[in-house]
Amino acid sequence: MTHAAPSTTPETSDTAAPLWRHAHAPAWFFFGGLALWLFLLLVPHVLLGNPAVIPAWILLGSGLAASTLLLIMARRLQPGDGVTTATLLWAVLVGGFIAITLGSTFDSLIGVAATDAGENPHDIGLFFAGVAEELAKIIAVVIVAWRLPVKTARGGLFVGGAVGVGFAVLENLWYIGQGWANGVEASQKLAAGSPPLETILSHPAFQAAGAAFARTVFDPVGHPLWTALFAAAVFAAARNGRFRITVGVLLTYLLVAVMHGLWDGNTVLWGLLFPGMPVLKALVVPAMVVLVVAFALIWRARVRRINRDAGVVSLHVPRRERKQA
């Protein structure tokens, strides 16, 4: 009986890191998607006159920033978080649809109640959007994460952020689609021989692109941030794998609802505080900048505390683990 000679070729256990784990993957993903978004608009639609690409163009515009944020979240997952990449994708798809379904229902009920009370349903809806939509999103978080064996505050950050991403993408579709519809209406009202600048500004693509840009800039400090903070509190309050409603959970709900309401009701708030003074509407943009900074500081303080309690130095995946992935 003979035995084969042992191989002298060294065996390597290291495998090539997947593309999404590379150091600059989020940047390539975002700017590559942005280039594709511009190409879809300018070449197939504008130059070649193909309107069939518009739905794909709107979908890409609504989800590019949110998807990039999801990629960053997936890269920062660590084994002790009790959350996998598959969990994040499940939270985005299933949780996002559950949240938008419940959120739209709650928003509509608030609008009906405001109408019955003789109030402006639009203004009331903006102020109470946080109450309705944050409740809807946390219900989605609980449904998605119900059977997770490990529930930590860090895990809540990821699951809540993913549900917020799903909600944001679906909501963005409406805003960008509405921008396109407004552009179509404006273009139809243009008189023959209108100035070129007015013609460009009224083009549906310009209106929709403006909505997409605004949503892209503010997506990271909107739904994903609010829901991540709320979900972190809910996960931290869990005991023996069971969710609980505590004082901390209720206070966090109040915080994120106020943050959300201030963001959505910013314009209405200035009108109520300074009626008949349209010049003060110029303060809307500075106020949004202040809110962004405030949200970012709250987020940073909370995440640092969660990481410190979990013994995690940073949300970033360690470089050595990135190479071994």
Q: Tell me the backbone φ, ψ of residue 66, rounded to 5 degrees.
A: -65, -40
Positive or negative CA dihedral for 210, 215, 221, 222?
positive
pLDDT at residue 211, rounded to an integer:
85
Specify whether the CB–CB gap between 130 and 248 falls below 8 A.
no
Q: What is the pLDDT of residues 34-53, one digit of tens each?
A: 999 999 989 998 889 898 99
pLDDT at residue 278, rounded to an integer:
62
Statement: residue 57 has pLDDT above 90? yes
Burial code of 205-214, b = ≥16 C-beta within 10 A, e = fewer? bbbbbebbee
pLDDT at residue 15, rounded to an integer:
61
What the block records as the tokens of 151 is: 């529930």
What the block records as the tokens of 306 is: 């969660």
For residue 119, the one-letter residue type is E
What the block records as the tokens of 143 is: 């449904």
* Helix H or strand E encompassing 80: none
Angle 63-126-273 from CA coordinates, rounded to 5°: 130
pLDDT at residue 7, rounded to an integer:
47
Q: How confident is the model at residue 11 (pLDDT cuts 50, 70, 90)?
A: very low
Average pLDDT over residues 295-318: 79
Q: What value does the mean pLDDT of the chain take?
A: 84
Statement: residue 317 has pLDDT above 50? no
Statement: residue 8 has pLDDT above 80? no
Burial code of 129-139, b = ≥16 C-beta within 10 A, e = fewer? bbbbbbbbbbb
Which is more confidently placed, 88 or 190? 88
pLDDT at residue 322, rounded to an integer:
43
Burial code of 8-28, b = ≥16 C-beta within 10 A, e = fewer? eeeeeeeeeeeeebeeebbee
Q: Which of 115-124, 203-212, 220-229, 304-313 has the highest mean pLDDT?
A: 220-229
pLDDT at residue 305, rounded to an integer:
92
DSSP-assigned states of every residue in 211-266: HHHHHHHHGGGSHHHHHHHHHHHHHHH-BTTB----HHHHHHHHHHHHHHHHHHTH
Statement: residue 301 has pLDDT above 80? yes
Query: In angstroms, rounded to a whole number, what is the distance separating the alpha carbons of residues 227 and 144?
Result: 13
pLDDT at residue 60, rounded to an integer:
93
For residue 250, the one-letter residue type is L
Give the contacts of 63 (CB within 8 A, at least 6 positions apart). 169, 172
DSSP-assigned states of every residue in 126-195: HHTHHHHHHHHHHHHHHHHHTT-S---HHHHHHHHHHHHHHHHHHHHHHHHHHHHHHHHHHHHHPPTT--
Statement: residue 181 has pLDDT above 60? yes
- Choose the weakest-confidence range: 187-196, 243-252, 256-265, 295-304: 187-196
pLDDT at residue 200, rounded to an integer:
64
For residue 165, the one-letter residue type is V
pTM for the whole structure: 0.85
Q: How far is CA 137 from CA 143, 181, 212, 228, in A?
A: 10, 28, 22, 10
For residue 166, the one-letter residue type is G
DSSP-assigned states of every residue in 82-94: ---HHHHHHIIII
Which is more confidently placed, 14 or 106? 106
